[in-house]
Structure 1
Amino acid sequence: MYIKEITLKDFRNYKDLHTSFHPRVNIFLGKNAQGKTNLLEGIYLNAMARSFKTTRDKDLIRFGEEFCRIHTVSKAFDEEMETEILITKEGKKIIKIDGVKASKTSQLLERIYIVIFSPEDLKIVKDEPEKRRRFIDRELCQIKPGYYSDLSSYKKVLKQRNMYLKEREIDTSVLDIWDYELARYGSRIIRRREEFIKKISEISSDIHQRISGGLENIIIHYEANVPYSGWETTELEFYKILENSREDDIRNRTTGHGPHKDDLKIEADGIDLRKFGSQGQQRTAALSLKLSEIRLIEAETGEKPILLLDDVLSELDNERQSYLISSLGENQMFITTADISGKVIRSMPEGKVFKIEKGTVEIEI
């Protein structure tokens, strides 16, 4: 699986760009604020239908323009595929796959598999629970058909319930409607997350042993806000929890239970790394998590995902840089950096180096 070429029209600081990529390693060299990350963002957007930098689609449109367009040609599952996303200032988003308008976003998510690795991901162990939930959801949306729909439906119902909880007069029969829906979609989310974390924990344990030289053993626990005890049982238990906590929810004017409150606990040799781990331990655990994400996609889909490394090499020492690059030699990679060591370049398979300056891209090597 790899991206052959991309066209950006009025996207961020790119007026009109068309460039072809190497199926292995593509390095984008340049100073800050030249457009390196914007190019990665365009690649990510055309696979995931959303940015990894902003939730406001209109921010993606070049200043003074009415719309932006991102078009890619990719090779996946032994077939060539074209994808295109058009975003207007009014917030309209049109997705086309091989020239045909997609009826739902999930059609795009199942075509190209992308893993993004940025300096923010190195903080996933110590940062707030929302980032760890986002890590889970981002991958499940790609590898499990239907998860994106369940997650979107859950968020929609949760928003409606929370809005209703802010009303002066609350009718419990109305809450019943929201609670049944929350329990229905929430139990599916909990089940998928439970399965996912079991697999990720097993894979990351093996990877972490290698990175740490066998000095540490990592275990990842899924801390579900609503305990998982089987799909149907969890749905019923979730509904009862919502029913029993209505007084608290009405008083707090928000929903206090559900998968929107879930978290991960990451331990190394029994030590909670979020609370007591050193920065080095936390970063090594984060690297193990990202590499296990890649391994799991390969195991679930039979395809090697495309990797976007956004200025992450500068946050790792040379040893971890070399391990990261050498262990991913068969995946297509896009790497942004202001500088890169000769040792790391020598550890890379064949590829291309691009120089990026003020929204222009030139092949350097």
Structure 2
Amino acid sequence: MNVKNLRLINFRNYYNLNVEFNDNINIFMGKNAQGKTNLIEALYICSYGKSFRTTKDRELINFNKEQAYIGANTKLNNLEKFIEVKMERDKPKRIRINKSELKNYKELNTGLVSVLFCPDDLKMIKEGPLLRRNFLDASISQIKPVYSYNLIRYNKVLMQRNNLLKTCRIKKDLVNLIDVFDIQLSKLGTSIIIERDKFINELNILINPIHKNLTCDKESVELKYFSNIPRLIDKESIEKEYLKLLKSNLNRDIEYGTTEIGLHRDDLLMLINNKDVKIYGSQGQQRTLVLSIKLSVVEYIKKYFGVYPVVLLDDVFSELDEDRRKFLSNSFKNMQVFITVTDAVDLNAVNDLSKSVFIIEDGKVI
């Protein structure tokens, strides 16, 4: 899987850019605030349909312009796709694949599969469970579009149930209507929980060899999935228990106006040598664990699709010591990687690989 070229018009600080890429290593080098991360962001948008830096599309448009455009030619095995993203101020963005317009960005599947690693990924460990759920959802959705579809439906039903709960405080005769939402939540929620559980089990198999190599065999890793819905022997049993828990918690839900039971409360516990890395892990351990998780996702996608995803590394090499840079680089031989750096010293680790270096200055490739 790779990106052949990228076209940007009025995107961030790029007025007009057309650049072709190396099938292996692509390095964006330059001082801070020159536009290196903007290129990574554009590639990420082609993959996920949204930015990893902002939720406001208008911030992606150059200050002096009303529209912005991203175009990328991608290739997965023998299947070529042309992905286009058009943004206008105060209008929803439009996404097309091979000239066919999508209804929304959530339909953007398998056009370009990528894995991003950036300094903000440490928040996945340090902050609340929402970021860890987002990691699970983004990773699984790229591989299984039906998961994304079920998640969208689940969140919609959850919002409707929560609105009804608030109404039931005043109009108690509406309580019976909640059963309809409970049945939908239990069915959709069970499917999502099963996929999350499978994904984490697969990741646990892949992550330990990677992490042991990164830590010279000193640390073992375990990822644990926490849900207030028990994982029972089969789907039907989980659905029944899910429904039972929703009903038993109904009075409390009405009191607080929100649904306390369900996968939207799930969390992912990360252990190094059986200790919670969020509480006991050093900054270095946390950074190495995130790197291990991301590399295990890369291997998971390879296992699923038969080819490696595109890897996006934003300002990561400067955060790693020489040994970890070397380990990373040895992993890159058979995949396309995009790396941002500020200093040529950081490139020693990729000396033996096929690469193109793009010098970025004030929104231009010079």
Q: Is the TM value for this pair above 0.5?
A: yes
- Flag the 1:175–1:64 CA change in 2: closer, same or farther, 3 A: farther
Letter in 2 for 1:80: E
Q: How does 1:1-365 map to 2 (within 5 A)?
A: 1-103=1-103, 105=105, 107-167=107-167, 168-170=169-171, 171-229=174-232, 230-341=234-345, 344-362=348-366
Q: Distance in 2 between matches of 1:155 and 1:56?
A: 21
8 Å contact 2:123–2:131 — kept in the other structure?
no
What is the CA distance between 1:119 and its match in structure 2? 0.6
8 Å contact 1:10–1:67 — kept in the other structure?
yes
The 4+ residue runs of structure 1 with deviation greater than 6 A are none
Relative to structure 2, which stretch is displaced further, 191-200 or 255-264? 255-264
What is the CA distance between 1:27 and its match in structure 2? 0.9
Deviations 1:254-307 (CA, angstroms, capped at 9, x unpaired): 221211111111222222222222222222221111110000000011111001
Relative to structure 2, which stretch is displaced further, 153-162 or 295-304? 153-162
8 Å contact 2:50–2:105 — kept in the other structure?
no
- TM-score w.r.t. the length of structure 2 is 0.93
Letter in 1 for 2:84: E
8 Å contact 1:110–1:143 — kept in the other structure?
yes
Letter in 2 for 1:259: L
Deviations 1:215-256 (CA, angstroms, capped at 9, x unpaired): 121111111231222222222221221111122222222221
**CA RMSD of the aligned region, Å?**
1.8
What is the CA distance between 1:158 and its match in structure 2? 1.9
Q: Distance in 2 between matches of 1:109 and 1:210?
A: 32
What is the CA distance between 1:343 and its match in structure 2? 6.1
8 Å contact 2:94–2:104 — kept in the other structure?
no
Name the SS for the 2:43 alignment partner.
helix
Deviations 1:92-135 (CA, angstroms, capped at 9, x unpaired): 23221112223564553122210000012234233221111111
- Flag the 1:228–1:323 CA change in 2: closer, same or farther, 3 A: same
Relative to structure 2, which stretch is displaced further, 32-41 or 103-112? 103-112
Deviations 1:40-89 (CA, angstroms, capped at 9, x unpaired): 11111112111111222222222243322111011212233211111222
Q: Distance in 1 between matches of 2:264 and 2:137?
A: 11
Q: Distance in 1 between matches of 2:206 and 2:52?
A: 25
Letter in 2 for 1:184: K
Q: Distance in 2 between matches of 1:227 and 1:91?
A: 43
Gap runs ≥5 in structure 2: none
What is the CA distance between 1:345 and its match in structure 2? 4.2
Name the SS for the 2:55 alignment partner.
coil
Number of residue pairs matched by the alignment? 362
What is the CA distance between 1:3 and its match in structure 2? 0.5
Deviations 1:184-224 (CA, angstroms, capped at 9, x unpaired): 22111101000000000110011111111111211111112
8 Å contact 1:224–1:262 — kept in the other structure?
yes
What is the CA distance between 1:174 and its match in structure 2? 2.8
User: Identity rate of aligned residues, in percent?
Assistant: 38
What is the CA distance between 1:340 and its match in structure 2? 4.1
What is the CA distance between 1:37 and its match in structure 2? 1.1
Name the SS for the 2:8 alignment partner.
strand
Name the SS for the 1:334 alignment partner.
strand
What is the CA distance between 1:334 and its match in structure 2? 0.7
8 Å contact 1:325–1:347 — kept in the other structure?
no
Gap runs ≥5 in structure 1: none
